[in-house]
A and B are shown apart, each in its own frame.
Chain A
């Protein structure tokens, strides 16, 4: 970690920095909710439409327009709050956050201020087998802004642009902001927190949580304080920086890591850390200064007078609670207990997008290990080749369960099973129909097989002699030749056994 050559001489390593300073990290995450319509109007939220086609008087902030709260967004927010172990406020208000910016239609954002919808929760995060509890300060609702496109400059940034275009399709999309306590102490835990939060939102099906599309974005607050000896009181928090809009898990970890080293460098040099927002540059892995918080905008928050307060009844909250599905942590515990999956197994299956499919395949009768192996390797690769998600493949858990059953029964080899998968994917029917249609049943009657074995021994006398002479391992090419003659419809183990028998071994 060397931010630049000129400071290299005085820059500590990361390990050195965290040996002397304790990082104090808090995270603010914005999640775009996957509601069909926007937060305060009926416009569609579908991503990727032509600019300014999903707008109306309300989300354009036209004079006279008024907001109406989207009930689905409130429900999703309550779900997130409950899943994060928060208390849900029985009465709260929206607030206006006032500042001028061209992509903000009303020049204020409808948000929440001192009366958030949910407060005081926590999320457990596991890193290397150790659980870290991250306190959740608040979960509140707000609307997204439009998107500015700066034209004419070199970098697409506002600096140097000749003019700007604004797309208001995103304006008014419901956002949830989730703010943690400053409980995180390492870049790895920061990353794992965002990862876990993302999985949680995915399990709740409240958002597609695509960081690269911006439907989940993260700001990291980082400060350092000197470590104190055990038993001594902790030092007060240092001044923090806020690195904005981190749009991948890797960026979260790298940005926090970089900030820790950068701040340690300054503190070592006797400089103070400036309270400011910073931008993370993916290419260099470094952060650079944005606007200083010390000259921060006064947002002049006040209760939104165009909306009545949200007064959620116990019954409503309980009804929402009843819809919360199994959460990722509960699921991991169950998968470990029921199937013996390790955390690594689970991460691998999750990342490959096959975890649900594996579970369904096991439920359909497959052995645990076979279900895991076939989805994680063969089928995930097929999906990648076809450019679809594994769930988008034309083969499902029942088909895969049947194939693994046929393998277990000795009716198919792995190689033949792949051929069956080809057939199912090609639309030739169920695995049984493909086996019948292609005549793929494994040949195990000794008549045809013995004939082929004898033919191969006769055709390759030199190799046969070697085997007869005791070089058992030389039998390989003969097995291959028999399998070829049988068009693969034989079990290689049986073939080998037969060959060795015939050759006196």
Chain B
């Protein structure tokens, strides 16, 4: 079965459940693929060969024992290295955590293990999830499988590249300002940021607590739904997770009916600054949606213009506090403890040596924004913008069921192209940030190529209506694939 690596997660699990494929074979296929291509992609920071094989054997044992298996049992998965998982190091892409083995599992890791998902290893990322290209990883950049001179997006670039390079069928990422959707867009994948509070953050090393959310990356809408359903739900260890039944995303993904669905195109997320190719593919997709029976209208969300500056006050503010714990005292890197230096000096030296430039930039920004005398002008003002953006969404959802936009203004850019221009890099998240600020769910799915590179289409929905993303995304995916005649990723060059 040489094409096992190209199976969707749903098909892999079905084959395992039917006894046509063992979990061990599926896992070995993933490990072989990683061995073959990952020196060129650098999607993984750590591959847990023994742990993955043991987890696969356990699934096979349970199947042999006649136990019921979940819909993703035996499916290999890449886990963004921002989650704690026992038996594997957690680095967050940073030197400051090098060699740290967490003593506990993140809640979603517990859920994945319980579902029989095989965690292959830890995926590369921008340091502490700060970046849009994975170039901010302390362990070298990840490359885009469509063109290894280009970035895979970020910060969940390793997760996205692993799936796009057929190393694993599915991956977990996190999305604080677009860190799942933008890599999904530039790697030609389906990526979903669930509603804030829909998935537990316990064991997710926080960048910006009020914005971070874990979610799936996959090659199909159905696979994303299966993974989403596996990790969603209330967690008593995370009080910001909500006590609501998770939306029925898997069923929604299978619905092909868009009759009567009202789709709003966000006027502010288009125009100058958006690649011609991106705009063309976006318009094509709208036509397909109309053809499927949807009603497409233009809506205005005037305060989206202020989303980016508000985000770059809130996220750094929270990060400056969240990252204070990396101080050499209890875990991770310790620099300069020469027997002479006091604790404060060791903290300073460790943080100086352990954090990369983008992390330092944001800590400094956030520290400044929270300072006495500046708080109201910066953090306080940003929170007001956040409220206004939520009101824009609420007003729009009175008229439409979902909102859509391009996921990113451009296709994947070249490695090194924006490293010296942080603001240009920040603009990659222009379209994705409003959903993080307001908390609602959003999906990116591929709608075609521009300059031979994938273009992402973003769907946004009201909080806890994640199923709408899957309904619209599933129908759009099916229509585009029928027209194309093959799965989107088949167009990716062979590695």
Contacts and interface: CB of A to CB of B under 8 A. Distances in A.
A98 B321 contact: yes
A253 B370 CA distance: 38
B379 A105 contact: no
B106 A60 contact: no
Interface in A288-336: 298, 300-302, 305-308
B202 A64 contact: yes
Contact of B321 (A57, A108, A166): A108
A273 interface: no
Contacts of A65: 104, 202-203
Given A57-B104, A300-B367, A64 B205 contact: yes
B268 to A, nearest CB: 26
Nearest to B84: A64
Main secondary structure of the interface of B (DSSP, over half): loop
A59 B209 CA distance: 17
Interface string B82-108: 011000001010000100101110100
Given A302-B370, A302-B379, A306-B209, A63 B325 contact: yes
Given A69-B239, A166-B329, A98 B324 contact: yes
A68 B209 contact: no
A63 B205 contact: yes
A492 interface: no
A61 interface: yes
Interface centre among B318, B321, B326, B371 (most CB of A within 10 A): B321
A282 B318 CA distance: 42
A100 B329 CA distance: 11
A66 interface: yes
A285 interface: no
Given A62-B331, A106-B325, A300 B371 contact: yes
Contact of B330 (A60, A96, A305): A60
B305 interface: no
Contact of A106 (B102, B202, B324): B324
A63 B371 contact: no
B344 A68 contact: no
Given A302-B379, A306-B240, A64 B206 contact: yes
B372 interface: yes
B204 interface: yes
Given A68-B237, A300-B370, A305-B209, A61 B325 contact: yes
B306 interface: no
Contact of A305 (B92, B102, B204, B210): B210
B340 to A, nearest CB: 10
B347 A66 contact: no
Contacts of B318: 302, 305
Given A64-B102, A68-B237, A102 B324 contact: no
A64 B90 CA distance: 10
Interface in A207-249: none
B83 A64 contact: yes
Interface in B172-220: 201-206, 208-210
A107 interface: yes
| Interface size bracket, B side | 35 or more
Contacts of A106: 324-325
A100 B210 contact: no
Contacts of B39: none
A63 B84 contact: yes
Contacts, number: 101
Contact of B372 (A57, A105, A300): A300
A61 B326 CA distance: 10
A62 B370 contact: no
Contacts of A53: none
Nearest to A107: B324
A102 B367 contact: no
B334 to A, nearest CB: 12
A61 B239 contact: no
A68 B102 CA distance: 20
Contact of A63 (B97, B239, B321): B97
A66 B205 contact: no
B327 interface: yes
Given A102-B343, A298-B372, A300-B321, A64 B330 contact: no
| Interface size bracket, A side | 20 to 34
B454 to A, nearest CB: 31
Contact of A64 (B203, B239, B317, B375): B203
B19 interface: no
Interface string A47-78: 00000000001001111111111000000000
B202 A61 contact: no
A377 interface: no
B238 interface: yes
A100 B363 CA distance: 14
A100 B237 contact: no
Contacts of A69: 239
Nearest to A69: B239
Contact of B92 (A63, A98, A302): A63
A100 B324 contact: yes
A100 B320 CA distance: 12
B102 A298 contact: no
Contacts of A102: 327, 329, 343
Contacts of A10: none
B330 A61 contact: yes
Contacts of B329: 102, 166
B302 interface: no
B371 A107 contact: no
Contacts of A100: 324, 327, 344, 347
A219 to B, nearest CB: 21
Interface centre among A60, A61, A69, A305 (most CB of B within 10 A): A305
Nearest to B109: A64
A164 interface: yes
B236 interface: yes
Given A105-B325, A302-B375, A63 B330 contact: no
Contact of B102 (A63, A301, A302, A308): A63
Given A57-B103, A63-B84, A69-B239, A108 B324 contact: yes
A135 B233 CA distance: 46
Given A164-B343, A298-B372, A302-B379, A68 B236 contact: yes
A302 B321 contact: yes
B342 to A, nearest CB: 8
Nearest to B104: A57
A302 B317 contact: yes
Interface centre among A61, A98, A108, A302 (most CB of B within 10 A): A302
Nearest to A56: B104
A67 B204 CA distance: 13
Contacts of B210: 305
A107 B202 contact: no
Given A64-B84, A308-B240, A98 B102 contact: no
A62 B236 contact: no
A307 B325 contact: no
A64 B370 CA distance: 22
Contacts of A66: 201-202, 237-239
Interface centre among B203, B209, B318, B343 (most CB of A within 10 A): B343
A341 B351 CA distance: 64
Interface string B237-278: 111100000000000000000000000000000000000000
Interface string B59-95: 0000000000000000000000001100000101000
B239 A307 contact: yes
A57 B238 CA distance: 13
Interface centre among B92, B103, B324 (most CB of A within 10 A): B324
B204 A64 contact: yes
A57 B102 CA distance: 9
Given A62-B84, A64-B206, A301-B370, 17 more contacts: A61-B325, A62-B102, A63-B84, A63-B102, A63-B206, A63-B331, A64-B205, A66-B202, A69-B239, A106-B324, A107-B325, A166-B329, A300-B371, A305-B209, A305-B240, A306-B240, A307-B240
7 contacts: A61-B330, A64-B102, A301-B370, A302-B321, A302-B375, A305-B318, A307-B239
